[in-house]
Amino acid sequence: MTMLRTCLRLLCGVLVTIGLLNLASLIMLPRLLGSANAVIYSSLVLVTAQIFIVGCAFLKITSEVRQIDQEGRQLRQQNEQLIEDQKNREQLLLILNHEVRTPLAAIKGYAELLRCYREQIPGEVWDQYLQQINHACDEATFILDSIILPQRAGEQNGAERLDLKEAVLSVLASFAPRLQFEQRTLELQMSNCDVIAQPLQLRQVLRNLVNNALSYSNPGSRLRITLTTARPASAPLLSDAEDQQGRRIYLAIQDEGIGIPPEEQQRLFQPFQRLESALHLAPQGKGLGLYLSKRLLEEMGGEIWLESTGQPGKGTCVWLSLRQI
């Protein structure tokens, strides 16, 4: 606003100067020159000077206006950045709420079992329950670290050789109170298989997928988990770089829930995306489980995709792949 006022004052000064020059030319030039030709010549010189003054003023005003526009653009960019930062903070809070909830539920479940049945639980079972509580605390710490201090995509720090079957069984153990309460039938078709993965990230992925399978299917239904070395027919095509990474192992988590229509499946890997038909089953969900699982698997060189016809009761099979040793 200060620059705009300066430009207006400058323009007014130029207009006043031109007016005074015109008045002076009308009064003084005929007396000084005394010739009509001289008056005409002098008038042309005066007009040229006026044009020069107006041009200089116009250039100055244009420069000031351009500077004002530039500052305005900078202010708009700063405002947009502030809005984007606010959205990122809100998204961070939602992710923290979504991811920390499951390990906290495991801690609460085992703590309740120890409190209610402390006299009936044998000592070795006590140790197992306390170990699961310790695992859940480690996972909650990892979640906070991985979100607040995110690792760069593709970074393999912490990747190691581990048994995928043992990782699955460890995650299922954290869901034992829920599986028992909901009277779920658990079918496992797995054998020991070593993969390259980051242990805590892999547990986070498995925990998200098992939690989704339980949340979007009815109590009493089956949960089937299968390991295979044969690439499923529903798997996406591998790029040349992925094909050169060597052998892969494929893990399927199959539920008997509402299913996911094929045209909706890719959308669910975006943050905060949910099916309308699933809102009543898990109203507390945020639409982040598949998004975070995909991100973590890709950091480990893995894949994830869905297989479902979208028919209720037929359920959904979530496939993931990891590099096999």
Summarised one tens digit per residue, pLDDT across range 205-234 is 998 899 899 989 999 999 999 999 999 999
d(CA 46, CA 22): 8
158 within 8 A of 303, measured Cβ to Cβ:
no
Q: What is the pLDDT of residue 135?
A: 75
Ranges of each domain in the chain: 2-81, 160-323
3-class DSSP state of 319: strand
**pLDDT less than 50: residues of the chain:** 150-156
DSSP 89-142: HHHHHHHHHHHHHHHHHHHHHHHHHHHHSTTTS-HHHHHHHHHHHHHHHHHHHH
Predicted local confidence at residue 104, as pLDDT: 81
The architecture (CATH level 2) of 160-323 comes to 2-Layer Sandwich (3.30)
Helix 199-215 / helix 289-299 crossing angle, nearest 10 deg: 150
CB 133, CB 110: distance < 8 Å: yes
